[in-house]
Structure 1
Amino acid sequence: MVSITISTAAKPPPFARGFPLTIDVPNDATIADVKAAIAAKFPKFYSSRQKLSLKGDRTNLVEEKKLSDVFNGKTQGGELQVKDLGPQIQWRTVFMVEYAGPLVIHPLIYHFPRLWYGKDVEHSALQKYVYAFVLLHFIKRELETVFVHRFSNGTMPLVNIFKNSAHYHILSGLFLAYDVYRPAFSQSSSYVVGTFRNDPTFLWICAGIWAFAELSNLHNHLTLRWLRPAGTRTRAVPHGYGFTFLSCPNYFFETVGWVVISVMTGSLASWLFTVVAFVQMALWALKKHRNYKKEFGKSYPRGRKAIVPFIL
């Protein structure tokens, strides 16, 4: 057994008073074992709520890392610091809730226009296509959350469910649905009648591009799933369709799908959601791109960009 001192990086939660403390763990202990030992002393301070790092260092230590590696083989007298991450919630739960918003909001506005606009709306082919695209997209996202995605972290801060849900429920839910299904886009609207927005060929071309983007996005997600064995944080260099040019082609194809809807409709609400979503995905993609290059070094393909081929 070895002894480790645990101090706090910030004020501990009220149910975990008593730091600094000393715990004894096996010689081959990992960071996960240390977290479990802390949770054994303070049951409400569960492992996923803890962030462990070296004293004076903010770098998060992954649970699989052995203490012998953290302290270069010398564990006696070693000191770690723990930070309270606050109440946590499952990533899968957050995704299910945020994607469910548009699946509820769009049908409510599409099928009950009198409640929102004060009159009935004879939906144009354009509105029908958009309605189908949105529902299929978020049904796909829900199914991927359940059957495809494997998360490197099991939980995230509870507050994220409100932030993430607001993004989807308001921007791609309420704003987009209210704008696109209103009378200005209806079957008799001058904005639609006699324009390309009512041209079956144009709508079918858009449907084809949208379907291509959605299926490509799904293919990328499946590729990432196959790289990570269940229950692990294993990371490997993704290859194949889309990954030849990009670190995050899934974000690129998702953007293409929303650009199609925005071009079809010309809706300001659609463009707002598309731009906001792209900016957020670009930030994630750039971070992942940097992490890939840092982790895999020269073995990572040099010609790849983060999210937009040859550009970004």
Structure 2
Amino acid sequence: MAPPMKLKVTNRSTKKPIKRLPSTIEVTDKTTVQDVKNSLAKQIGRMDPNRLGLFDTKNKILKDRLAIVKQNKELIAGKEILVKDLGQQISWQTVFIIEYAGPIFINLAFLFFRQYIYRDYVPLSISQQLCMGMVVLHFLKREYETLFVHKFSLTTMPVRNIFKNSAHYWILSGVNLAYWVYAPDSYATMPTPTTGYLDIAGVVLYLFGELSNLHTHLTLSKLRSRGGTERGIPKGYGFDLVTCPNYLFEIISWTGVLLVSRSLSVVLFIAFAWWQMHQWAIKKEKALRAEFPDTYNKKKYVLMPSLGAVIKSLVG
């Protein structure tokens, strides 16, 4: 085993430097990023190790907490590690639970308080009841996956980000969707000769999207050990068609909600969700190509495949 290496420790932020930060730290061939955080936090005194962000000399954050420090070429070449206080932390699992709880309670609240919200109160139509059930079940499924399926490579995130992360769900699929969909004069209250068919088609699309989305999440979960940070190449149902089929099935599921609700508020939510998921899917494709250049089957479509690609996949 090679002798320990001494790295210079520097405050990354000159405006808000970390007090009592040691000037150097020793790392061995087995020292991980988390080991460095734990050691620095102990020397600083009474500090959550997860608050410490570690960066190399090019200001690239060391995300993988289980990565071996001496295997980072940039870090070892510069013989220096930059440290920043990321602020008060909260677990990713807790963030997800809070994010998804919002739409559940907001949509259900309209069931009990509609008479106080709208001037002209009428009972919910069948389509409105279906839509509420679909939305609530969608986020209950999300809560289940957060607790029992997802495996997070990052343990925590800054507390301040919870407001930004929750706004998308609490506002767009919460207040925005509920207010317009459950209104006495929404399209979901106006029966037409095609209403029944739209409701049936919407429920079928919704169930297909939800079950397929759950399947892809289970596939992704199997690629990582509990508490681990390792990555793998996802294969199988949907993954041979696009980079992130879980996002594709999410859009399909919400298209089902759209058919039942017939509301522009759902269109708005889908549009924002598609834009955000498309950005994530592009990053995921780039990351897979970079990490597995020789074994990863590069995808042309990251989120939404062409009709030709779908037919080709079905034919075999």
Q: Would you call these one fold, judging by a TM-score over 0.5?
A: yes
Q: Which residue of 2 aligns with 1:178?
A: 179
- Please give the alpha-carbon distance, in whole angstroms, between the structure 1 residues aligned to 2:210 and 2:138: 7
Aligned in 2, Cα 1:168/1:249: closer, same or farther, shift over 3 Å?
Answer: same
Larger displacement relative to structure 2 (297-306 or 103-112) = 297-306
**Partner Cα distance (1:134, 1:260) in 2:** 10
**Residues 243, 299 of structure 2: 8 Å contact kept:** no
Corresponding residue to 2:43 among 38, 41, 44: 41
Distance in structure 1 (CA, Å) of the matches to 2:32 and 2:94: 28
Runs of 5+ unmatched residues, structure 1: none
Question: 1:5, CA displacement in angstroms?
Answer: 1.4
- Cα separation, partners in 2 of 1:282 and 1:91, compared to 1, 3 Å: same
In 1, are the aligned partners of 2:33 and 2:65 still within 8 Å (CA)? yes
Q: Does 1:246 align with 2:242?
A: yes
Residue identity opposite 1:90 in structure 2: S
Instruction: Check 1:140–1:3 CA distance in 2 against 1; reply closer, same or farther (3 A cut).
Output: same
- Are residues 209 and 186 of structure 1, via their aligned partners in 2, closer, same or farther at CA, if it must alter by over 3 Å? closer
Deviation, 1:59, is 4.3
**Contact map agreement 1:220 1:250 (CA 8 A) in 2:** yes
Give, in angstroms, the shift of residue 19 of structure 1: 4.6
8 A Cα contact 2:202 2:255, kept in partner: no
Q: Aligned ranges for residues 67-216 of structure 1 at < 5 Å?
A: 67-70=69-72, 78-185=79-186, 189=189, 192-197=190-195, 199=196, 201-216=197-212
How much has 1:71 moved relative to structure 2?
5.1
Q: CA deviation at 1:61?
A: 5.4
Q: Bigger CA drift: 251-260 or 110-119?
A: 110-119
Matched length = 305
Whether 2:305 is the aligned partner of 1:305: answer: no
Is the Cα contact below 8 Å between 1:8 and 1:20 reproduced in 2? no
Change (3 A) 1:27 1:243: closer
% identical equivalent positions: 37
Aligned to 1:222: 218
- Listed as ranges, the matches of 1:16-31 within 5 Å are 16-19=18-21, 21-26=23-28, 28-31=30-33
CA spacing shift, 1:116–1:244, aligned 2, 3 Å: same
> What letter corresponds to residue 93 of structure 1 in structure 2?
T
Deviation at 1:26, TM superposition (A): 4.3
Q: After the TM superposition, which segments of 4 or more aligned residues of structure 1 sit over 6 Å from their partners? A: 72-75
CA contact 1:247–1:289 (8 Å) conserved in 2: yes
1:4 aligns with 2:7: yes
In the TM superposition, what is the alpha-carbon distance from 1:253 to its structure 2 partner?
0.6
Structure 1 259/202 Cα, relative in aligned 2: closer, same or farther at 3 Å? closer
Q: Contact (CA 8 Å) 1:71, 1:78: kept in 2 or not?
A: no
TM-score normalised per structure 1: 0.90
Q: Distance in 1 between matches of 2:58 and 2:246?
A: 37
AA aligned to 2:56 is L
Partner Cα separation in structure 1 for residue 178 and residue 230 of structure 2? 39
Superposed CA RMSD in Å reads 2.4
Return the alpha-carbon distance in structure 2 between the equivalents of residues 202 and 126 of structure 1.
Answer: 9
Which runs of 5 or more residues in structure 2 are unaligned? 310-316
Q: Is the 8 A contact 1:121 1:186 kept in 2?
A: no
TM-score, normalising length: structure 2: 0.89
CA contact (8 A) 2:21 2:40 kept: no
Query: Is residue 54 of structure 2 the alignment partner of residue 58 of structure 1?
Result: no
